[in-house]
Chains A and B, each alone.
Chain A
Amino acid sequence: AQSVAQPEDQVNVAEGNPLTVKCTYSVSGNPYLFWYVQYPNRGLQFLLKYITGDNLVKGSYGFEAEFNKSQTSFHLKKPSALVSDSALYFCAVRVNTGRRALTFGSGTRLQVQP
């Protein structure tokens, strides 16, 4: 079975400050990890993914994430937050064999204050 944990329901950060949204995962096998963002009443937009290779992955809108195998984590980061980054963020995982559907974390709401 595969699972994803996002321990924070909400993260508050001031505009211009760095932000981190946490994600840990559990899978049997090699993980494929993803971050998506969702704006109100909208579908999910892809931010970035880790498949293999460099542990630091850079994605859309200045976001990046670091794959840490020993800690089974894939935290989302951005050096300088914008008010427009305020949204719901989902971490997702799947393994590279068998069922290819994504398992999502519970989501973290990011609130960036001006």
Chain B
Amino acid sequence: GAVVSQHPSRVICKSGTSVKIECRSLDFQATTMFWYRQFPKKSLMLMATSNEGSKATYEQGVEKDKFLINHASLTLSTLTVTSAHPEDSSFYICSARDGLESHEQFFGPGTRLTVL
């Protein structure tokens, strides 16, 4: 199956700093990527939908100025958590779809963010 990678897998940062997380589709072109956030023992909550070459669509309640998403190419989307605070600590997971008609999403391994 298709492979999606995320980098870094784990990051610890100080409060007030910004952190960038990369999501790459390794063997296919992803027209659409999704960013999810997962709290401990909770389900995945969709944060935003990222389409290559256009602005991301954010879910209600997600601050687009805080969670900057860039999908500059068909194989790379980035999520930047700006001015991170301890409440931003979470497990962030991206997924990618390989075509408009594709039913399947391929998930990255996730990034554990800890803000001190």
Contacts and interface: CB of A to CB of B under 8 A. Distances in A.
Contact of B107 (A32, A36, A41): A36
Contact of A90 (B1, B44, B109): B44
Contacts of A100: 32, 97
Nearest to A106: B43
- Which of A44, A51, A107: most chain B CB closer than 10 A? A44
Given A104-B43, A107-B43, A32 B103 contact: yes
Interface string B82-106: 0000000001010101000001111
A106 B42 contact: yes
B43 A90 contact: yes
User: Size range of the interface on A?
Assistant: 20 to 34
Interface of A: 32, 34, 36, 41-46, 49, 51, 90, 99-107
30 contacts: A36-B107, A41-B91, A41-B110, A41-B112, A42-B109, A42-B110, A43-B6, A43-B93, A43-B107, A43-B108, A43-B110, A44-B95, A45-B107, A46-B1, A46-B104, A46-B106, A46-B107, A49-B103, A51-B103, A90-B43, A100-B32, A100-B97, A101-B46, A102-B46, A102-B95, A106-B42, A106-B43, A107-B41, A107-B42, A107-B43
